[in-house]
Amino acid sequence: MDKLVIEGGVKLKGEVSVSGAKNSVLPILAATLLTDEKCEISGTPNLHDTITMLKILRALGKNTEFKNSTVRISHNKHTNFVADYKLVSTMRASFCVLGPLIAKLKKARVSLPGGCVIGIRPVDLHIKGIKSLGVDIDIQSGYVIAKTKQLRGSHIYLGGIYGSSVLATDNVMMAATLAKGKTIIESAACEPEVEDLAEFLIKMGAKIKGHGTPIIEIEGVKELHGAAHTIIPDRIEAGTFLIAALITGGDITIKGALYKHLGAVIDKLRQAGAYIINSDHSIRVRRKTRLKPVNVTTLPYPGFPTDMQAQILSLMGITPGISVITEKIYPDRFMHVAELNRMGAHIQREGPHAIVEGARRLSGAPVMASDLRASASLVLAGLVASGRTDVSRIYHLDRGYENLEIKLQKLGARIRRGKE
Ligand code: UD1
C-alpha cells in the first residue's frame, strides 16, 4: 500500500491547475446509460473513482476509452441491468446508475452501497423518489430490485433530516428525463455538480428547468441522444489548495478555480485572514493578516461544504484562539480529529461539534487516513508540521484528488509517495 511522506515547513508558492470535479463526473458518466448513442466527456479527472465508474459502465454494456482527460463511451450489444455488489460497495456514487437503468431498461438490480467511515449513509430518499415515478422496488439480499412498465412524472418532496441529497436528486432527475409527463423535485440539491449533470442531460435532449435551485422541473421525453460535455472544475480540490496556501503561509494562484462555486469557503477564509484575488479563471490567495479563529457550520450548497470541513479543521488547528466547527451533514465525520491531535492539535469533539484550541505548531507524526477529505486534512497538517509526517492508507486520497502530491511538489512541497 502507498503512503505519503511529507517534510513540513515549506511555504507553498506558484501556480496550480484544478482538475474536473469528481462529484460531477461520476453521475455524468452514469447518465450515459440513458442513451445507446456515443458520448464524449472532457475534463475527466483520472481518479480511482472514475476508473471504478468506467468498470461499472463496461459491466452494464458500454465500451469506454479514457485518454488525455477525455472519456468516449459507446454502446456494446450486451446490455446488462445488474450493478454488482463488488463494484457498488467500493464507491457510493455508483448507486446513481439506478435512475438511468430503470429509465432506459425499465428494470434494474443495483447493490445497496452500505455505510462508510463518515457515518450511516441511507438511500431512503433515492428509493422514495424513484418509487414515486411509478417504479416497484423490492430490497432482496442487499440489492434494490426495481421494475416498471412505464415511468410516470410526479411531484416529489426530496428533503431529508439533513436537508437535500445530492445523489438522490441526481438519481431522480435522471430517471425523470424519460418518464411520461412532468416531474417536479422539491427540496432538490442545489450543488454545482447537480447543475452540471442537468446541463449534460439537456445536451442529450432532456427538458429540465430550475436546476441549481431547490425546485427542478423535468418534462419527460421519449429518448435521449449522445452528447459531448466538459466537466466543471473541482471546487473541493480548489478549496483544498486555498487552505494549503494559508496553512503554510504561502502564495498560490489556483488556475481554473471558479470563485462563484466557493462563496462560503472564501468568506470564511477571508474572516480567517486570507487575501484573495479573483481574476479570470483563477484565484490567488495568501495571508493578509495573522490567522484568526472562525466558527464554521457545514450545510448543503451554497453553505460551507462538508467536504471542506476536515481541511478547515487543520487550518484552525494552527490558528491561535478558539474555533468551533459544526458538522450538520454527517455528524460523525470526525475521524481525522484523533490523528490531528497526534500531531499536536488540541481538538475536542462534542457530538457534531469540534472545539479547537489552536496550537502554535504541529509536529510531524505517522498518521492514518480514514476517508477522502480526512486524508487531505492530514496532508495539509503535514505540510505545516515540523519534521516528517507519514500519511498511510492514501488510497482514499487517490479516490478523489488527481496527482495531489505532484501538484504540491510543483508548489515547492517536500512530499513523496512511498510504500508502507
Ligand atoms: C454527495 C457527495 C459527497 C458529499 C455529499 C454532501 C458525490 C459523489 N458525493 O454525497 O462528496 O460529501 O454529497 O455534500 O456527489 N441522506 C439520507 N437519505 C438518503 C440520502 C442521503 O438521509 O437517501 C443523508 C445523508 O446521510 C447525509 C445527507 O443526507 O446526512 C446528505 O447526503 P447526500 O447529499 O445524499 O450525500 P451524497 O449524495 O451521497
CA angle 387, 392, 397 (to 5 degrees): 110
The pLDDT assigned to 115 comes to 55
CB 169 within 8 A of CB 188: yes
Residue 355 has pLDDT above 60, yes or no: yes
**179-205 average pLDDT score:** 98
**Ligand 1 proximal residues by C-beta, below 6 Å:** 23, 26, 92-93, 121-126, 160, 162, 165-168, 189, 193, 306-307, 329-330
Our mutation pick for probing the ligand 1 site, out of 329, 377, 401, counting the most ligand atoms within 8 A of Cβ, is 329
Q: Are strands 215-219 and 182-186 parallel, antiparallel or unpaired?
A: antiparallel
Q: Are residues 242 and 122 in the same domain?
A: no
**369-381 average pLDDT score:** 94
- Percent of the chain surpassing pLDDT 70: 98
Give the cell for residue 35.
Answer: 442513451
Q: 49 CA to middle of ligand 1, Å?
A: 16
The pLDDT assigned to 394 comes to 92
- Cis status, amide bond into 302, omega within 30 of 0: yes
Nearest to 143 by CA among 116, 96, 94, 110: 110
Sheet holding 215-219, edge to edge: 155-157, 182-186, 215-219, 207-209
Residue 407 has pLDDT above 80, yes or no: yes
DSSP 3-state of 357: strand
Query: Which of the two residues, 370 and 286, has the higher pLDDT score?
Result: 286
Q: Are residues 151 and 251 in the same domain?
A: no
Cβ-defined contacts of 159-162 (< 8 Å, 24+): 159/186, 159/187, 160/124, 160/125, 162/328, 162/329, 162/330
The least confident of 106-120, 199-213, 217-231, 292-306 is 106-120
Q: 330 CA to middle of ligand 1, Å?
A: 8
Residue 76 has pLDDT above 90, yes or no: no
User: Among the three residues 230, 248, 275, which one is the final residue of a domain in this structure?
Assistant: 230
Q: Are residues 169 and 254 in the same domain?
A: no
210 phi-psi bin (left φ>0, alpha ψ -120 to 50, beta other)? left
Does the model's pTM come out above 0.95? yes
Residue 368 has pLDDT above 90, yes or no: yes
Our mutation pick for probing the ligand 1 site, out of 52, 97, 158, 165, counting the most ligand atoms within 8 A of Cβ, is 165
Q: Are residues 103 and 244 in the same domain?
A: no
Half-sphere exposure (Cβ direction) of 57: Cα atoms closer than 13 Å: 32
CATH number at residue 364: 3.65.10.10
Structural domains of the chain, count: 2
Give the cell for residue 399.
Answer: 479516490
Per-residue pLDDT band for 329 (boundaries 50, 70, 90) equals very high
Q: Are residues 134 and 83 in the same domain?
A: yes
Nearest Cα residue to atom 1 of ligand 1: 166
Q: 279 CA to middle of ligand 1, Å?
A: 32
Q: Are residues 221 and 262 in the same domain?
A: no
Q: Are residues 270 and 359 in the same domain?
A: yes
The least confident of 115-119, 203-207, 368-372, 381-385 is 115-119
The pLDDT assigned to 119 comes to 67
The pLDDT assigned to 321 comes to 97
- Give the C-alpha separation, 15 to 205, whole Å: 38
Q: Are residues 153 and 117 in the same domain?
A: yes
**51-73 average pLDDT score:** 96
Per-residue pLDDT band for 89 (boundaries 50, 70, 90) equals confident
Residue 117 has pLDDT above 70, yes or no: no
The pLDDT assigned to 149 comes to 97
Q: What's the start-to-end Cα distance of the chain, in Å?
A: 6
Nearest Cα residue to atom 20 of ligand 1: 123
Q: Are residues 308 and 251 in the same domain?
A: yes
Residue 420 has pLDDT above 90, yes or no: no
Per-residue pLDDT band for 118 (boundaries 50, 70, 90) equals low
116 is catalytic: yes
| Mean pLDDT computed over every residue of the chain | 95
CA angle 160, 165, 166 (to 5 degrees): 175
Per-residue pLDDT band for 412 (boundaries 50, 70, 90) equals very high
Q: Are residues 216 and 243 in the same domain?
A: no
The pLDDT assigned to 114 comes to 63
Q: Are residues 176 and 265 in the same domain?
A: no
The pLDDT assigned to 116 comes to 61
DSSP 3-state of 94: helix
User: Among the three residues 230, 265, 285, which one is the final residue of a domain in this structure?
Assistant: 230
User: Among the three residues 181, 208, 230, which one is the final residue of a domain in this structure?
Assistant: 230
Q: Are residues 181 and 253 in the same domain?
A: no
Residue 17 has pLDDT above 90, yes or no: yes
Atom of ligand 1 nearest to the CA of 167: 38
**85-101 average pLDDT score:** 92
Residue 103 has pLDDT above 90, yes or no: yes
**What range does the domain containing 73 cover?**
22-230
Nearest Cα residue to atom 32 of ligand 1: 165
The least confident of 165-169, 246-250, 368-372 is 368-372
